Amino acid sequence: MRAATSHPRRALVARRTGWTAAAVVALLLSVLLSLAVGARSIAPSTVLDVLLNGGHSDAAEVVRTMRVPRTLIGLMVGVALALAGTVLQGITRNPIADPGILGISQGASVGVVFAIAFAGVHSLSGYVWFAFAGAALASVAVYAIAASGRGGATPVKLALGGAAINALLVSVTMAVLTAQAAALDEFRFWQVGSMAGRDAEVVGQIWPFLLVGVVLVLSVARGLDALALGEDVAKGLGQNVAAVRIVGGIGATVLTGAGVAAAGPIAFVGLAVPHIARAIMGGDHRWVLPMAALVGPVMLLVSDVVGRVIFPPSEVPAGVTTALIGVPFLVALIRRKAVPA
C-alpha cells in the first residue's frame, strides 16, 4: 500500500522537476535573446564572448552598458511582479488579484507623481523611494479598510478595499497631473512601463528590496497552501492566518514597490503568471512560487524583445507587449478551466 502511494508522489515530483528544468532553460534563452536582439542585432556567440571575456568593441559596449542593465531590470521586475501576484491571489483567495487591481501599483504611481510635481525629482533612480512609499501607504490603507468591521480582512473586503483605494489614487493622480501639466510628459514616460533607459544604478537600488520580498513570500508558502482550503481549515492545521496575510502582504508590497519603481506599472505579469505556474505545478506553493519566479522574467524579457523589433526603429514599451503575449495564455487557461474559481 505504501509503495503504491509513493509511486504517484515520485511521478509528481519528477514531473514538477522536469517543468522546472524546462523553465530554467527558457529563462536562459530569454536572457540571451534580450542581450542579442535590438536596434542592432548581435550574434549570440559574440554576446557570450563579451560576457565571458570582455572586450572593447562597439558590440561589447552595447552589451555591457545598455543591454545588461536592461536585462537585469527585466529579470528582477519579472520575479517581483510574478511573486507579488501569486501571493496576493493566495492571501485574498481571489483569482483576479494582482498588484494593479489591489491598488498597490497605483500607490507607487501617486508617489512618482508627487516626486515629479512637488519634490523636483527627475531621475529614475530618484523615483524609487517615492514609489516604495506610495506602494506601502496604499497597501496599508487597503488592509486597514478590509480589517475594519465584522469578520476582519476577508477576501471580498480586501478586493473591495483595493478597488476603492485604486479608484481614489487614480483620481489623485489625474488631479495632480491636470494642475501640474509640466509633469505630465515625464510621468507618462514612466507610467507606460518599460525597461528602456534604465541603468545599473537602478539595479543596485532595488535588489536588496527584491531579496527581502522573496524571503518573506517564500516563508508563507505552507500558510498559503493551508489558506487555500479556507480560514477555518487553515486555523485547524495550526496556521496563524493573520500572520500569513500580514507577512505575505508585506512581501508583496516590497516586491511590487521594487518592480514598479524600476520599470513602471507593467500590467498583466502579476495576474497571468500565477495561473500559468499553478496550471503547470498544481496547488503546492512550494513549487508554484519558484515556477512563477521563473516564468515571470521569461514573459517580461520576451515581451521587451518583441517590443524592440515589432516596429523598428521605434520601440513598443514592454508594458504594452506583456498584455499582447499574456492574454492568449490566460484565455487558453480559462478555456481549459485551469483557473481556480
CA angle 298, 304, 307 (to 5 degrees): 140
**Rounded CA separation 305/38 (Å):** 7
User: Does 122 score more than 50 pLDDT?
Assistant: yes
Grid coordinates of 204: 543596485
pLDDT of residue 116: 83
Most confident among 71-80, 148-157, 268-277 (mean pLDDT):
71-80
Q: How far apart are the C-alpha atoms of 74 and 203, rounded to whole Å?
A: 10
CATH 1.10.3470.10 fits 2-335, yes or no: yes
Q: What is the mean pLDDT of residues 8-14?
A: 83
Which span out of 39-48, 136-145, 202-211, 298-307 was modeled with the highest average pLDDT?
A: 298-307
**Nearest of 302, 31, 108, 71 to residue 196 by alpha carbon:** 71
Residue pair 264/190 in contact by the 8 Å Cβ criterion: yes
Nearest Cα residue to 68 out of 88, 86, 42? 42
How high is the pLDDT of residue 29?
A: 94
pLDDT at 153: 67
CB 134 within 8 A of CB 176: no
User: What is the residue extent of each domain of the chain?
Assistant: 2-335
- Supply the pLDDT for residue 84: 93
Q: Is the pLDDT of residue 55 over 60?
A: yes
Regarding pTM above 0.85, the answer is: yes
| Residue pLDDT, tens place only, 155-187 | 777 778 888 888 899 898 888 888 877 777 777
Q: Which position has the higher pLDDT, 124 or 320?
A: 320
